[in-house]
Amino acid sequence: MDNGFCIVVSKYRVYQGIVLIESLCENIENPQIFVLCMDHEGYEILSRYNKNNIKVISIYELEDEILLSKKRERSFTAYCWTLKPIFLEHIINHFSNLKRVTYLDADIYFLNDVKSIFKENINSSVLLSNHNYTKSLKKYEAICGKYNSGFISFKRDEKGLNALKWWKDKCLSWCSEVIEKERFGDQKYLDEMILLWDGVEEIQTIGTNIGFWNHGRYKTSIIEDKVYINNVPLIFYHFAGFRILNEQEFAFTIGFRNEFVNHVYLPYMKKIQESIKRVKDIFPNFPQYFYDRNQLKGATIYTIS
């Protein structure tokens, strides 16, 4: 495949990052995966992770004086957000075989191949994923943006590369967890991107980037043990708000839905358990970065053996 899938992973997200990688490999033929590791622990684990189609890159390979200054000025989360377009540009500049780069948040989980997304949008230079908020959450569009930056794809053409550079420059200029009227992290810039640049289009493929913000809009059904969204196979689910408490307990801080338990949530949690075990085997002394349930009031706690 000539699409490079790019992921940013830290020691806090390494369990989910491994599950994302596994789901890509299970659903896509020979995916090319590039992982930017934000710390030594994540790099050590993923460097020992036995997958031939993964290129693991340390943050130290990218950091220059400009990035180091941003690292000092910004929170860790905001710094990770800042790096999304920088990492994408780095990969497309250094791997000439790629015709497209696609960024994925580490908490995404694939259940089917993504080829329909790119086939249906073959002429698009940039693909954006509309949140498609439910009516009750629509108010957050003005705060967090119309588009979700957890899945965004750039083609190697003039329009795509220009839009990517513009996004990079914007993120270097300002990227923060603090919500401002026209800005929020790396994400709200995408509302502006689609207005400024030709070739930037919304993904129309159903079953893409389903998460707590939009799953109430769709009819969910199970056919032959597979999940369908409006009678179309679910391509990937975005586990925003999901937290790992320990090896048996998991928290859904927002948007828990019973219809997803057996065919989306449970398989994902079991994959997380396998990931925790794999990390233990690779790095026995790795500190387990679990969340404190006392800090997650109101969350739905799910326990599996």
**What pLDDT, on a 0 to 100 scale, did the predictor assign at position 181?**
84
Local structure of residue 261 (DSSP, 8 states): I
- pLDDT means per 10 residues in the chain (305 residues)? 94 97 96 97 91 93 98 98 98 97 98 95 96 96 97 98 98 96 96 97 96 94 94 97 96 93 96 97 91 92 93
Q: Output phi, psi for 184, to 5 deg.
A: -155, 110
Q: What SS3 class is residue 36? A: strand
What's the pLDDT at 49? 86
CATH of the domain at 204: 3.90.550.10
Report the length, in residues, of the chain.
305
Question: For the chain, how many structural domains are there in total?
Answer: 1
- Within 13 Å of residue 276, how many CA atoms lie on the same side as its CB? 17
| pTM of the full structure | 0.97
| pLDDT score, position 33 | 98
The torsion defined by the Cα of 156, 158, 163 and 169, in degrees rounded to 10, comes to 100
Instruction: Please report the pLDDT score of residue 1 as a whole number.
Output: 66
SS3 category, 109 = strand
- Give the domain range for residue 34: 3-303
Rounded Cα distance, 151 and 283, in Å = 30
